[in-house]
Amino acid sequence: MKGNSDFHDDQIQDDDLRARFAELRRTEEAATPPFIFPSLGRAERNRRWLTARLIAVGVCVLVAASVFLARLGSPRPERNVKTVASITEWKSPTDFLLKTPGNELLRTVPAIGVWHDYTAVDPAPKHPQTEKKVLP
Amino acid sequence: MIRTDIEGELGRLHAASFGWALWCCDHRREEAEEVLQTAYVKVMEGSARFDANSSLRTWFFGVIRRTAWEQRKRRWLHEQLLGSWYTSRPATAPTPDPEAMASGSESSRVLLQALSGLPRRQREVLHLVFYQDLTVEEASRVLKISVGTARTHFARGKEQLRQLLAVSEKSRSGENRTEEKHEGE
């Protein structure tokens, strides 16, 4: 019994909504623009325009691809740029300024008894000594 | 179906189709006109073909819905790509066109206001059933959803719409009472 009354209430509320929508439909239908079905000519023009655009895009893609491939295939022109030596070979143009006199002494470990840039002169012959005389 | 038959049928459906296009475009009149015309062009060109699996009305409403969706997507893309331009422009919120609302009766205005508070899917199902007099099954075919989902949207939408209408009725009757009081004084 209760379910029956619920259904009845729901139906009444549906009818209310339906009536509201019907009123809205009447209002909106009064402002409907006239029916203009597109002519074949317009549809044909649209299709032609679309085809033309597709062709234009295709041509652009082809040109871009051919330019890219041509550049890829041909050897690259030598660039007029000085070749740069590797960092291990490179030397500064002012490197010589760092060579101070006696620099080599700082770079080598001295050995005992060896004198760089020094040649020992032979000792002079001993002068004959007069023997000491023991005084009486 | 040959072209003249379709043209005649679509001519008979034109008012209903425009009503549906209006709803798909959130009551933006110019957009709805453009969407409807684009849908006609699609039929004319043959990019939308009627295969007689459903009624012509159900099929054409589906075409309109899809066209409106494409237009919305295009507009969204434009807004994303030209974001900086659009930030200075007034936002296009999915609210009913105030001009359209003002032209209708008080009851229609209240209904539109209440409907703008519902999710899109619920609004669409309610429109198709109450406004276009389609069955829930036909509405589900237009919206490309299952019948069960359409029924759920329909039931929830109805419930929510009734509540919104009741709230607006209450506020209106309250306003009327205060006006009467002021007039009495």
Residue B181 has pLDDT above 90, yes or no: no
Backbone angles phi, psi at B37, to 5 degrees: -65, -40
Which carries the bigger pLDDT value, residue B47 or residue B38? B38
Residue B161 has pLDDT above 50, yes or no: yes
pLDDT, tens digit, 9 for 90 and up, residues A35-91? 887 776 666 777 788 889 999 999 999 999 999 998 887 776 666 556 666 888 888
Give B159's pLDDT tier (boundaries 50, 70, 90): very high
- Do residues B124 and B117 make contact, with C-beta atoms less than 8 angstroms apart? no
The Cα–Cα gap between B35 and B160 comes to 29
Segment among A80-84, B90-94, B108-112 with least mean pLDDT? B90-94
**B73-85: average pLDDT:** 79
**How close A8 gets to chain B, by Cα (Å)?**
15
Using DSSP's 3-state secondary structure scheme, residue B106 falls into helix
Chain A residue with Cα closest to B165: A17
Contact A32 B19 (CB under 8 A): yes
With helix as H, strand as E and coil as C, how does chain A read? CHHHHHHHHHHHHHHHHHHHHHHHHHHHHHCCCCCCCCCHHHHHHHHHHHHHHHHHHHHHHHHHHHHHHHHHHCCCCCCCCCCCCCCCCCCCCCHHHHCCCCHHHHHCCCCCCCCCCCCCCCCCCCCCCCCCCCCC
Residue B176 has pLDDT above 80, yes or no: no
CA-to-CA dists, residue A9 to A14, B14, B162, angstroms:
9, 34, 12
pLDDT on residue B51? 79
Contacts of B11 in chain A (CB under 8 A): 35, 37
How far from each other are the two terminal CA atoms of chain A, in whole angstroms?
A: 171
The Cα–Cα gap between B33 and B12 comes to 16
Q: What is the pTM of this model?
A: 0.60
Contact A24 B131 (CB under 8 A): yes
pLDDT on residue A1? 47
Residue B126 has pLDDT above 90, yes or no: yes
ipTM strictly over 0.90? no
Contact A20 B107 (CB under 8 A): yes
pLDDT on residue A122? 65
Residue B93 has pLDDT above 50, yes or no: no
Q: Does B56 touch chain A (CB under 8 A)?
A: no
The Cα–Cα gap between A111 and B79 comes to 83
- Amino acid found at B165: L
| Burial class of residue B31 (count of CB atoms within 10 Å of its CB; 0-12, 13-18, 19+) | buried
Choosing among A23, A25, A28, A50, which should be mutated to test the B contact, i.e. which has the most B CBs within 10 A? Answer: A28
Q: Which of B7, B33, B105 sits opposite A23 (nearest CB)?
A: B105
pLDDT on residue B170? 80
**How close B15 gets to chain A, by Cα (Å)?**
6
Contacts of A43 in chain B (CB under 8 A): 41, 44-45
CB crowding A22-45: b at 16 or more within 10 Å, else e: ebbbebbeeebeebebbeeeebee
Q: Does B34 touch chain A (CB under 8 A)?
A: no
The Cα–Cα gap between A119 and A115 comes to 7
Q: Which of B15, B105, B161 sits opposite A17 (nearest CB)?
A: B161
Choosing among A14, A32, A49, A50, which should be mutated to test the B contact, i.e. which has the most B CBs within 10 A? Answer: A32
Contacts of A32 in chain B (CB under 8 A): 14-15, 18-19
